[in-house]
Structure 1
Amino acid sequence: MGKTKKSKARGGAAGDDLLDSSDADSVETSSTALSDLSISYATENVNSHEFVLDKYIDALYEKRGSTREAALASLVDAFESFMLDGLVENKYATLLSLFNTSIKKGSTKEACLASRAIGLLSITLGAGSTSHETMVESHPQLSKVLQTWSDASKMISALDCLAVVTFVGATDLAETELSLKAMWDVIHPKSGSNVGTVRKPKPPVLAAALSSWTFLLTTIGSWRINTDSWKEPIAFLSTLLGAEDRAVRMAAGEALALCFELKLLDVSACEDDDDDTGVAGTSKSKLFLDMQALKAKIAGLASNLSAEAGGKGADKKNLSDQRDLFQRILDFVKYGECPEESLKIAGKRDVLRVSSWSELIQLNFFKHFLGRGFLKHVQDNGLLQDIFSIRTDKAESLSSSDKKIFRSGEEKGRALKLNKDRRQAQERKNAALFNE
C-alpha cells in the first residue's frame, strides 16, 4: 500500500474546493484545450502531452459545471483511446481527488463521468500500490452513492466503478468483501443497514448491481469459502430467475453459473466431522439436502428459460440471447461443459480465448466498461494481458499445405458444433411449442 498523496492546492484552495473564476476567456481557453490531446499524441513532444493533461486538470478546478463536464468527457475519451500510464503516474492523486469531488458535488452527468474516469484511471495504473490507493480513496464516496439511492444512472456508474477499482486494487479478501456487501445491499436491500424502509432497485440498477457483484466474485476463487454462508444469497439469486425484466434474469443466471463453477453449492454428505465448509457435522446433511434442492431448482428454471416461447411483441434479439445463455448454463450444470469464446485482437495472429465462466464474465465486463477502448487496452495494457490468455493463431505460422490440414480440422470441429447447436435449437423450439 502506497503512501497517501495530497492533491496540489490551486490558488490557496484545497482539493475539494473549486476556484471561483468569472473570466469567460479563461474558461473558453480551458475548454478549447480539451480537444487537443489526440493532436498532441501525433507529436513526439512529451512536454506537450503533459501540457494538455494539465489543461484538463485546470479545467476541473473551474466553477462552471459545463467546463468540468467537458474536461471529464475528454479525459474519459483519452483514457479509452491511449495508454496514459506514463503521464498520470505522478498526477493520479490530484486527478483522483478532483474526480471524487465531482462525484460528491457535481451534477448527475458530472458524477457519472467522474466515476467512469476513476475506473479507467485504475485500469490504466494497473495492479499495485497506486491502484490500491485509488480504491481506498474512492470507496467511501462510491459507497455513499449506493447507500443514498441516487439517480439510477449515477448508481449504475458507481457500481461499475466500484467493481473495477476493487478488482484491480484490492489486496485481500476483506477489502473485496466490503465492496461485495455494498453491491449486495443494492441487490437485496433488506439485508442492508437501512432496514426501516425496504426499497427495491429499478431493473437497470438491479441488473448492473448483479453484473458488478458477479464480476467481483470471480476474484474469490483462491480464498477460503464458508459454504453455509452462501445458501441464502444463492437462494435469493434463484428467485431473480423469475423476474419480469429479461436483463435481470440473465444477470442472475450468470451469477448462478459462477456460483456453480466456484462450487459454492457443493457440500459433501459423506463426512460427519467439521471441515473447511465451516459447517458442523450434525448440520451438514441438512445443508447438503438444501443445496441439492437448490441445484435442481436452478437447473429446472434454466431449462425453462432456455426454451421460453417468444409470444407476440417479444423482443426477439434479447429473447435469443436469453435462450443461448441459459442453454449454456444448463449444459454446464448438467454436463460440465464450459463456455468457450475467442476474440481477434490484432490482425489475424493474436487471439484472446476464454474457457470458463469466470473468464467469460471478466471479458464481458471489461468489454462493457472500456467500450471502444477495449481492443486498445488488450493490445497495450499489461493488466489485461495478465488477466486474459492471448495466443497466436497457429495456422498463421504454417505452410500452405499444413494450413489446409489445420483448417480442415477446424472446419470439422465447427461442423460438429453447428450440428449440436441446431439439435439444441430444435429441442428448445419443440419445448416452446409444447409450453404454448
Structure 2
Amino acid sequence: MSQRRGNGNIDDNDVICCRGSTMGRQECYNGLNKDNDDSGNSPILTKSIYWYFRQLDKKRASVREEALSGIVKVLVRQTGVHVVDFVENNFVTLVHYCFWCIRKSRVAKEMENAVYTIGLVAMITECVDTSHEVYLDVFSAVSNGLKSKVDIGKVLECLAIVTFFGAENSDETEKAMQLMWSFILSEPGSTMKKKHSPAVLPAAISAWTFLLTTLDGWRLSYKIWQGATSCFSNLLNNEDKSVCAAAHDALALISESNCVEKFSTEADDSKKLPVTITYNQKCQTHCETINGQKLKLSSWSQIIQMNYLRQFLGEDGFVNHMMKNENFHHIFEFSPETENSCSNMLYEPEREEVQVRYFHRPVPIQQDSSLLPSMSSENKQIVKRMTKSGNSSLSKARTMLLKKKRMVQDGENDLFAVDEE
C-alpha cells in the first residue's frame, strides 16, 4: 500500500491564518472569492480549502455540495505548493468521501463534483504512490460495476485521468482501456448491460484514445485490439458529430503508432485509414500559446493529450496547471519562464575595486632579530610612483573606474530621455 501522509482529521486550529489571527467562518468562506495571490503564497486560499474540507461531514446535503464545489474550484486553480500539500496530506479522507458521495448521494451536482475531485487529486499530487492508489480505487470501483446514478461518461473521464497519471505500467493502462472498450462495443459478454445516454459513446472513445497516447506500439497486445480499426471506421458515418470526431482522432492516432496490424484483422477494410494520415501530418509542427509562452507539440499524441486535459479542466484551469503543475511540465516538456519586470534596467555593482600588484627587491633583514626591517629610500620612491603619481597604474585604474560609473549614470538618465527628432 502506498504511503499515507496525514489522517485527514482537522481541528479549529486549521482555520488560523495571517500569522496567528483567527479568521471567522464567513471571512474564510469568502476568501476563495477574493482575488488571490498568483504567487502561490496566499494564506487565505490555503485556509479556505481546509474550511471547505471541514464541511464535508455535515448532514445537510446543500452544505456538502457547496463545500465540494469550493474544493473543486481551488483544485482547478492549482495556485501553489499548499494545494499539493493539501491533496497529499488528506487524499485518503477526501477520496473516501468522494466514493461515499458517488454511491449514496442523491444530489447530481454533488456526485459530479465528487467524480471530478478524484480526477483532480490524481492530477495534482506529485507523489507516485498517491496517484497509483487513487487509480486502484477507481479501477476497482468501475470494474466491479459502480452502482450510482452519476453520468457514466463522467466516470469514464475520471478513470482516464487517474490512469493517465497513476498507472504504473502498460498492463494497468490496457486494463482501463478494456473497461472503456466494453462501453464502445455492445456485444455479448460486455459489461454494458443497460442503455446509456448518447454522450457515453464519444466519452468512451475519447477516454480510450487518450490512454492510447501513453503506450508505445511495441507494448500493445496483439490479441486485445484486433478489429478496432474496423470499429472506428464504421463510426465515421455516425449521425452524432461528436462520435465521428472521436473516431477520427482514434484512427489518426492508430496511424501514427506505426502498428496498424495490432488493431486490424485480415478482413478489415483499411482503405479508410489513410484518409486520416493527411490530417495527421498537418499536426506535426503544431504550436500553442500558453500565457504568452509558446508550447510546441511534435505529435498527434501530444495534441490529443492537450485537448483532453483542456476539456477536463476548462481553458483557465488548463492554463493555470500548465504554468504551475509540475506533472504538466513533465508531460509536455514545458518550462514556463518567470517574468522579470526589471529586465530592461541598468544595474550598477554595489562594490567594485581595483588592485595593483608590484614587485621589488627583497629588503635585507638585520642580523638583530629584535629590530624590524626598515624600508629603504629606493623602495619608498617605488611606492610613491606606483600609488601617488598621476601616471601610476593605480591612478589610471581609478580614472577608468570613475569614467565607467559616469557612463552608467548617463545611461540611467537616457531611459527617461525624449526623442525629439
Counterpart CA distance in 2 for 1:31 and 1:121 is 26
Q: Are residue 331 (structure 1) and residue 327 (structure 2) matched? A: no
% identical equivalent positions: 31
Counterpart CA distance in 2 for 1:44 and 1:353 is 26
Judged with a 3 Å threshold, the aligned counterparts in structure 2 of structure 1 residues 4 and 109 are, in CA distance, closer, same or farther, namely same
- Secondary structure of residue in 1 paired with 2:85: helix
Judged with a 3 Å threshold, the aligned counterparts in structure 2 of structure 1 residues 330 and 46 are, in CA distance, closer, same or farther, namely closer
Counterpart CA distance in 2 for 1:33 and 1:161 is 30
Counterpart CA distance in 1 for 2:170 and 2:109 is 32
Greater Cα shift, 35-44 or 211-220: 35-44
Q: Is the 8 A contact 1:126 1:168 kept in 2?
A: no
Judged with a 3 Å threshold, the aligned counterparts in structure 2 of structure 1 residues 180 and 229 are, in CA distance, closer, same or farther, namely closer
- Secondary structure of residue in 1 paired with 2:178: helix
Superposed, 1:239-278 pairs within 5 Å as 239-266=234-261
Q: Is the 8 A contact 1:80 1:120 kept in 2?
A: yes
Greater Cα shift, 228-237 or 212-221: 228-237
Q: Give, in angstroms, the shift of residue 330 of structure 1.
A: 4.3
Q: What is the identity, as a one-letter code, of the residue corresponding to 1:134?
A: V
Q: Which residue of 1 is the match for residue 329 of structure 2?
A: 385
- 1:244-278 per-residue CA deviation (whole Å, 9 max, x = no partner) reads 101001101111111111123148xxxxxxxxx9x
Counterpart CA distance in 2 for 1:179 and 1:34 is 38
Q: Is the 8 A contact 2:297 2:303 kept in 1?
A: yes
Q: Which residue of 2 is the match for residue 431 of structure 1?
A: none
Q: What is the identity, as a one-letter code, of the residue corresponding to 2:56?
A: L
Give the total of aligned pairs.
319
Judged with a 3 Å threshold, the aligned counterparts in structure 2 of structure 1 residues 57 and 253 are, in CA distance, closer, same or farther, namely same
Q: Are residue 99 (structure 1) and residue 46 (structure 2) matched? A: no
Q: Which residue of 1 is the match for residue 86 of structure 2?
A: 87
- Secondary structure of residue in 2 paired with 1:189: coil
Q: Which residue of 1 is the match for residue 205 of structure 2?
A: 210
Counterpart CA distance in 2 for 1:69 and 1:139 is 25
- 1:31-73 per-residue CA deviation (whole Å, 9 max, x = no partner) reads 8844423549549987655533332122111111111111111
Query: What's the C-alpha RMSD, in Å, of the aligned pairs?
Result: 3.2
With normalisation by structure 1, the TM-score equals 0.65
Q: Are residue 164 (structure 1) and residue 107 (structure 2) matched? A: no
- 1:363-405 per-residue CA deviation (whole Å, 9 max, x = no partner) reads 1001101112111110111111111143789xxxxxxxxxxxx
Q: Which residue of 1 is the match for residue 310 of structure 2?
A: 367
Q: Which residue of 1 is the match for residue 183 of structure 2?
A: 186
Q: Which residue of 1 is the match for residue 124 of structure 2?
A: 124
Counterpart CA distance in 2 for 1:97 and 1:40 is 31
Judged with a 3 Å threshold, the aligned counterparts in structure 2 of structure 1 residues 170 and 8 are, in CA distance, closer, same or farther, namely same
With normalisation by structure 2, the TM-score equals 0.67
Q: What is the identity, as a one-letter code, of the residue corresponding to 2:302?
A: E
- Secondary structure of residue in 1 paired with 2:54: helix
- 1:207-261 per-residue CA deviation (whole Å, 9 max, x = no partner) reads 1111111101111116522335422222222221121101001101111111111
Counterpart CA distance in 1 for 2:84 and 2:153 is 26
Q: What is the identity, as a one-letter code, of the residue corresponding to 1:297?
A: K
Q: Is the 8 A contact 2:217 2:257 kept in 1?
A: no
Q: What is the identity, as a one-letter code, of the residue corresponding to 1:126?
A: E
Superposed, 1:55-74 pairs within 5 Å as 55-74=51-70
Question: Which structure 1 segments of 5+ residues have no match?
Answer: 12-28, 268-276, 278-286, 303-328, 394-436
Q: Give, in angstroms, the shift of residue 353 of structure 1.
A: 1.6
Judged with a 3 Å threshold, the aligned counterparts in structure 2 of structure 1 residues 169 and 8 are, in CA distance, closer, same or farther, namely same
- Secondary structure of residue in 2 paired with 1:230: coil
Superposed, 1:10-159 pairs within 5 Å as 33-39=28-34, 41-42=36-37, 49-81=45-77, 82-83=79-80, 84-106=83-105, 107-126=107-126, 128-143=128-143, 148=147, 151=149, 154-159=151-156
Counterpart CA distance in 1 for 2:90 and 2:42 is 15
Q: Is the 8 A contact 1:187 1:201 kept in 2?
A: no
Greater Cα shift, 2-11 or 168-177: 2-11
Q: Are residue 175 (structure 1) and residue 150 (structure 2) matched? A: no
Q: Give, in angstroms, the shift of residue 166 of structure 1.
A: 0.6
Q: Is the 8 A contact 2:213 2:253 kept in 1?
A: yes
Q: Give, in angstroms, the shift of residue 192 of structure 1.
A: 4.4
Judged with a 3 Å threshold, the aligned counterparts in structure 2 of structure 1 residues 54 and 226 are, in CA distance, closer, same or farther, namely closer
- Secondary structure of residue in 2 paired with 1:203: coil
Q: Is the 8 A contact 2:328 2:334 kept in 1?
A: no
- 1:155-180 per-residue CA deviation (whole Å, 9 max, x = no partner) reads 12211111101100000122212211
- Secondary structure of residue in 2 paired with 1:180: helix
Superposed, 1:416-435 pairs within 5 Å as none
Q: What is the identity, as a one-letter code, of the residue corresponding to 2:118?
A: I
- Secondary structure of residue in 1 paired with 2:58: coil
